[in-house]
Amino acid sequence: MNETALITGASSGIGFELARCFARDGYRLVLVAHYPDGLEAAAGKLQSEFPGCITTLIPCDLSKPEGPEQLYAETNRLGLQIDVLVNDAGFGEYGPFVESDLQKELAMIQLNVASLVHLTKLYLRDMVPRKHGKILQLGSVVSFMPNPLQSIYAATKAFILSFSESIQKELKDTGITVTILCPPETDTNFFEVANMENTAIAQGNLATPQEVAEAGYKGLMSGEARVLPTLKAKAFHAQSALLPDSMLATIMNTMMKEVK
């Protein structure tokens, strides 16, 4: 395999497990995350498990508006052709909207939405003339429903779904595929970062990053439009199609409450 995959949010969780999938199949890896130490630790694990794995580490804060252009400029400077783009980086914030941290939410919108769009635009423009490339966008089961107490996070994931499905149609017959991975709650550091470790949903049956990544990778490689990686994800999606948004909001509000 002489192709290169760029993975944001690659230092842990689903992003790291996706990097493992690519490394296993011989891809060259461009690993991107905010903190250099986390990237170096992730690269060390990959090279230990997959001797000969070629990794390029690019620390980059994609919650800043200048992040995507800096990342794109660096891959160009290094002469890297990106054949697969994985937009995994993202985080959430918990609490009633009137009380939650506005600056954290604006950074979340920048990372989850603006940087995802920006990177998709930059690398897609390179892929289309080659008529070859794949993009994986990390959505969520909350892409399909309102999510009280995580209103901004859910809205960012709804945006990713709408945006990605729109460009899927535009890219028909170009040789480029866009796949949306929509996992349910997963056992990563997401709950800690979002300050929601004590919520009911965080205490439930969590998907593993490995099973989510494996399903997402398989769907990406086969050019699937949307991947619902577990039975719970499929159940959430079916529920969203059957129930009115007001009822879905009530259900999600209960799941988001803190456990006493």
Catalytic residue positions, numbered: 153
83-122 as b/e, with b when 16 or more CB fall inside 10 Å? Answer: bbbbbbbbbbbbbeeeebeeebbebbbbbbbbbbbbbbeb
Answer for the pair 94, 199: CB distance below 8 angstroms, yes or no.
yes
Consecutive H or E run containing 161: helix 151-170
Cα–Cα–Cα angle for 162, 166, 168, nearest 5°?
A: 120
Token code pair at residue 258: 């803190």
Eight-state DSSP code of residue 223: T
Question: Which two structure tokens, joined as six digits, stand for 197?
Answer: 């470790």
Q: Which residue has the tokens 């990713």?
A: 160
